[in-house]
């Protein structure tokens, strides 16, 4: 499951935030949700699923996304009683610099390759950096010898 901020509107001191929520299941099924967090609570604005969800699945959809959505809003998990409060700015996760950071980038890159996923996207998600910055981190890991060279030298 992944939760990404889509956009935010501020009006009269209140914030309303939209989030893209993606659920991927082991059997290849997936659900994309556009959820809205406002002072009145959480609501679902759009749902796209492949294969389509049954009515029973739609009724438990809110339970599936509730915890991760509250965590993305900065209010903790729903079980801990945290209320959804969107942060003023998106905080980047702490990522070590230097050799340790390059080693962790290489581990993320290789793990994504082994899982058949996009390794650059995995590094982007792990570091919180843009694609361009993530590619620079990957190049640094290659230069440090943590990843194999991109091209064979002649």
Q: What is the pTM of this model?
A: 0.45
Give the whole-angstrom CA distance, residue 100 versus residue 79: 35
* Mean pLDDT (the chain, rounded): 78
Supply the pLDDT for residue 37.
Answer: 80
Helix (H) or strand (E) holding 143: helix 131-143
How far apart are the C-alpha atoms of 2 and 63, rounded to whole Å?
15
Q: Smallest Cα–Cα separation from 124: which of 113, 108, 140?
A: 108
The residue with greater pLDDT, 60 or 134, is 134
Please, are residues 129 and 101 in contact by the beta-carbon 8 Å criterion?
Answer: no
> Residue 103: its pLDDT value, please?
92
Report the DSSP beta bridge partners of residue 14.
11
- Beta strand pairing status for 2-11 and 14-24? antiparallel
> Can you give the pLDDT at residue 38?
78
pLDDT tens-digit profile of 120-148? Answer: 888 888 887 788 888 999 999 999 999 98
């Amino acid at each position: 499951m992944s939760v990404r901020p889509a956009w935010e509107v501020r009006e009269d001191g209140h914030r309303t935030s939209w989030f893209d929520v993606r659920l991927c299941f082991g059997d290849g099924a997936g659900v994309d949700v556009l959820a809205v967090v406002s002072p009145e609570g959480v609501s679902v604005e759009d749902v796209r699923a492949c294969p389509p969800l049954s009515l029973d699945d739609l009724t438990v959809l809110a339970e599936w996304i509730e915890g991760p959505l509250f965590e993305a809003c900065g209010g903790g998990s729903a079980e801990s009683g945290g209320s959804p409060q969107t942060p003023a700015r998106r905080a980047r996760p702490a990522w070590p610099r230097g050799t340790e950071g390059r080693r962790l980038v290489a581990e993320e890159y290789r793990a994504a390759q082994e899982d058949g996923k996009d390794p650059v996207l995995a590094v982007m998600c792990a570091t919180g950096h843009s694609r361009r910055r993530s590619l620079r981190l990957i190049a640094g890991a290659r230069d440090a010898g943590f990843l194999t060279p991109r091209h064979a030298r002649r």
